[in-house]
Amino acid sequence: MDYVQFGSTEFKVSRLALGCMSMSGAYGPADDHESIATLHKAFDLGINFLDTSASYGQGHNHELINKALQGRRERIVIHSKSGSPRAPDATGNRSGSTPEYLTQNCEQSVKRLGVDALDVFCMSRVDPDIPVEESVGAMAKLVERGLTRYIGLSEASANSIRRARKVHPIVSLQMEYSLWSRDPEGGNVQACREFNMGFMAYSPLGRGFFGGAVHDAKDMSDGDGRINHPRFQGDNLAKNLALLARFEEIAREKHCTPAQLALAWLMAQGSDVIPIPSNKTRAHLEENIKATEIKLGTEDLSRLDAIFPPGAAAGPRTKDMHRVNI
């Protein structure tokens, strides 16, 4: 496993991080025993970077990681997002960006994970009704208290990053990025490079699309969050599957799986781009790790860009576009 510098931190992180969301039921049922075995396998294969969130399974994800980390904490870098509250507070607010929510969330995350401090505490969304300076000011106090070593942002625009940095150093940005979600190329990745921040690409497999998980609406079970996703519905799904078929042809030529090709494309965008595929089984984990062995040339990248240029995917990347890239 290759390791790269993570922004301005002292961390050397694995070329692939492990996203833990699917271990808490985001894409259908998960088995805790297999999830812990998958985490241990990831550690054994050299992955030392975990992405989690307080909102994954409403604390279940943190408790699961706690069990898997026993005796291994010092080797692992933990990036934890704040998520958003399930219910409004006393004032009717459901924002995950208030100082009160961020403070409580970080405190609970440290406790559930069973660690002295998070490595990176990340605000999941910038709230347009709450100045980002106010949110980051509260997170800075968490650093002062020793509850987290660094702070990061998710789905923040280049402008919000610049504003936030005037309050406290921001070491990373997490944003959806894949061949079918190329919004970060519009200024977010560039801002990270300008300020020496790490960039974490969530949903690098298009929520399982590039992994071949969905070829028909019937492939999604009850409780699968993709059922209500715009790109997995009706005509949008049909159009996206037509693009996938062309993509799969290139994967066959490269003697790799579509998932491996999608991850290899992301890693080819720069050593500062860290894909965080979500895995809940050892089999998928081992498949994804092999993507680090694939080298794409200029012609390969041009062919992939021709299939999935920015804006090619049918449907918005989330039904809540008003909450991203703010």
> Residue 290 contacts by C-beta under 8 Å, 6 or more apart in sequence?
256, 260
Rounded CA-CA distance 315/245 in Å is 18
Alpha carbon 291 to its chain's center? 17
Rounding to the nearest 10 degrees, give the CA dihedral for residues 284, 60, 95, 326.
-20
CA quadruple 225, 229, 235, 239: dihedral positive or negative?
negative
Rounded CA-CA distance 126/81 in Å is 12
Contact between 150 and 120 under an 8 Å Cβ cutoff? The reply is yes
Alpha carbon 245 to its chain's center? 25
Contact between 176 and 229 under an 8 Å Cβ cutoff? The reply is no
Catalytic residue IDs: 56
Provide the 3-class DSSP secondary structure of residue 12: strand
Output phi, psi for 190, to 5 deg.
Answer: -65, -40
Contact between 199 and 192 under an 8 Å Cβ cutoff? The reply is yes
